[in-house]
Amino acid sequence: MRALAALRDHDHRLTRRIAAWDSPWARRLLPPVEDAAEHTKLWWAAAVAMAAVGGPRGRRAAATGIAAMALAELLSDQVAKKLVERRRPPKEWIPHDGVEDRPDSSSFPSGHTAAALAFAVGVAPAWPAAGAACAVPALMVAVGRVHSGAHYPSDVAAGAAIGLASVGLVRSVLGLLSRRLPYGSGLSGGCRRRCGVVAP
């Protein structure tokens, strides 16, 4: 119990510290990125762009990212939030107006973080450069959820774990399907290696 209380106190102190972060960078960049990621608009736009300009590799990356993102949203919003009821951080902890726009649902976990990390990590095996590019706004979303007062850091950590688990589940399903499909079906061994579903 003492260890849990210490973790909770650390979580609360870190929430206040991040929410009070008053740098020009945070004020100018975090809110627009959060707005773009609302309802996963940013990730759908990235998927469309990758599919349009990236050829087969871009389409594979987009499809895997969207699948992982959808699973992460399902697990975070429809499962975890139903099981864990947690209030958002107190408004008096948040020294700016962003706290007025936060939702009324459970604080735990951060669905925005789950979706963002799932998409960014999901596209990386098929297109590493695109995954690295998507990781930058994904991390900004994670920080912004605490800075805006919408979540505790532990909510964000749980969302990140759900996002990474979703990628693992999607890749496992893709690997199972690739092993069951005959080689004549068009999914070659080279393609399987590029998709990141089997070892070379």
Mean pLDDT of all residues in the chain? 88
Please give the pLDDT value at position 143. Answer: 95
Does 194 have pLDDT greater than 70? no
Q: What is the mean pLDDT of residues 188-200?
A: 48
Q: Which residue has the higher pLDDT, 71 or 191?
A: 71
Q: What is the mean pLDDT of residues 99-104?
A: 77
Does 198 have pLDDT greater than 50? no
Please give the pLDDT value at position 188. Answer: 44
79-92 burial string, b = 16+ CB within 10 Å, else e?
A: ebbeeeeeebbeee
**Dmax of the chain from CA atoms?**
63
Does 137 have pLDDT greater than 60? yes
CB 156 within 8 A of CB 28: no
Per-residue model confidence as pLDDT tens digits over 160-193:
999 999 999 999 998 888 777 665 444 444 444 5
Of the listed ranges 18-22, 29-33, 169-173, the least confidently predicted one is 18-22
Please give the pLDDT value at position 100. Answer: 72
Give 134's pLDDT tier (boundaries 50, 70, 90).
very high
Does 18 have pLDDT greater than 70? yes
Does 82 have pLDDT greater than 50? yes
Whole-angstrom Cα distance, residue 55 to residue 151? Answer: 38
Rg, the chain, Cα only: 19
The single residue listed with the structure tokens 């998507």 is: 134
